[in-house]
């Protein structure tokens, strides 16, 4: 990698939090603009996680160390996992399942940290932060696919019926 490439990597690493904030906000705006209910719910969940995390750290400072489990991020990742699983179970889309699976990886990082002693601090940090970047990529694709499908075929159902039946009343006794 040349000097310019190394400088770009340093800028990205140094400004990761700001880049994440902007990317998540842009995805939320895109979901509100072009998305349906599941896109909005997933984007709001991810954006909410960022806002709550930034607020926590503004009040209480940075996480003390990655040598031990981070209870705050465990709680945040647990809440995100519950929300994304609930959305995924009702959404008439596939991508929320991928988001929930990625969140399960982030959640599992904390369990690994609690149970496996030789996990390095860097491994722990990467295991619970990198899934979020993957989730942003999946959200981008999900919003784009929804916008494409809607423009090509028209509107379609956002959520699966609660009763597991059809919205058309076919087969109802």
Please report whether residue 167 resides in a domain: no
Tokens 């209910």 belong to: 37
Q: What is the pLDDT of residues 97-121, one digit of tens each?
A: 999 999 999 999 888 888 887 777 7
Angle (nearest 5°) at CA 45 between 40 and 50: 125
Determine the pLDDT at residue 167. Answer: 54
Evaluate whether 49 touches 80 at the Cβ level (below 8 Å). yes
Q: Is residue 52 part of a domain?
A: yes
Q: What is the pLDDT of residues 13-41, one digit of tens each?
A: 678 889 999 999 999 999 999 999 999 99
2 within a domain of the structure (yes/no): no
At 168 the pLDDT is 52
If one compares 10 and 140, the residue with the highest pLDDT of the two is 140
Domain for residue 161, yes or no? no
CA distance 118 to 151: 51
CA–CA separation, 86 and 82 (whole Å)? 6
**pLDDT at position 9:** 62
Tokens representing 96?
């929320």
Domain that holds residue 94: 18-153
Distance CA 48, CA 45 (A): 5
Give the integer Cα–Cα distance in Å for 24 and 133.
Answer: 10
Which stretches of 15-36 are DSSP H helices?
A: 16-34
Number of independent structural domains in the chain: 1
pLDDT at 55: 94
Distance, in Å, from the CA atom of 21 to the CA atom of 50, rounded to the nearest integer, reads 7
Alpha-carbon distance 134 to 95, whole Å?
A: 12
What's the whole-number mean pLDDT along residues 82-105?
97
Residue 170 has pLDDT above 50, yes or no: no
Could you tell me the pTM of the whole model? 0.85
Predicted pLDDT of residue 164: 64
46 neighbors 40 (Cβ within 8 angstroms): no
pLDDT tens digits, one per residue of 38-81: 999 999 999 999 999 999 989 988 876 767 778 888 999 999 99
Residue 117 C-beta-side C-alpha neighbours within 13 Å: 0
User: In the prediction, which pLDDT does 171 show?
Assistant: 39
Report d(CA 58, CA 153) in Å as an integer: 45
User: 162 lies in a domain?
Assistant: no
**Range 145-172 average pLDDT:** 80
Q: C-alpha dihedral over 136, 137, 142, 148, to 10 degrees?
A: 130
Give the residue with greater pLDDT, 137 vs 19.
137
pLDDT band at 127 (very low <50, low <70, confident <90, very high): confident
For residue 119, being part of any structural domain is answered with yes
On whether residue 77 sits in a domain, the answer given is yes
The reply to whether 130 falls in a domain is: yes
């Amino acid at each position: 990698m040349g000097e310019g490439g190394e400088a770009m990597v340093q800028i990205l690493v140094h400004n990761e939090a700001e880049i994440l904030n902007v990317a998540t906000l842009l995805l939320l705006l895109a979901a509100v603009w072009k998305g349906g209910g599941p896109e909005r719910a997933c984007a709001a969940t991810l954006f909410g996680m960022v806002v709550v995390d930034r607020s926590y750290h503004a009040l209480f400072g940075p996480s003390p160390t990655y040598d031990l489990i981070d209870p705050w991020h465990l709680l945040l990742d647990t809440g995100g996992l519950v929300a994304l699983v609930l959305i995924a179970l009702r959404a008439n889309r596939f991508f929320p399942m991928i988001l929930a699976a990625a969140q399960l990886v982030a959640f599992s990082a904390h369990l690994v940290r609690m149970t496996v002693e030789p996990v390095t601090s860097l491994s722990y940090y990467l295991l619970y932060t990198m899934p979020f970047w993957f989730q942003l990529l999946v959200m981008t694709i999900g919003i784009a696919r929804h916008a494409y499908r809607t423009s090509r075929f028209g509107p379609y159902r956002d959520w699966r019926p609660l009763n597991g039946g059809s919205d058309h009343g076919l087969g109802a006794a």
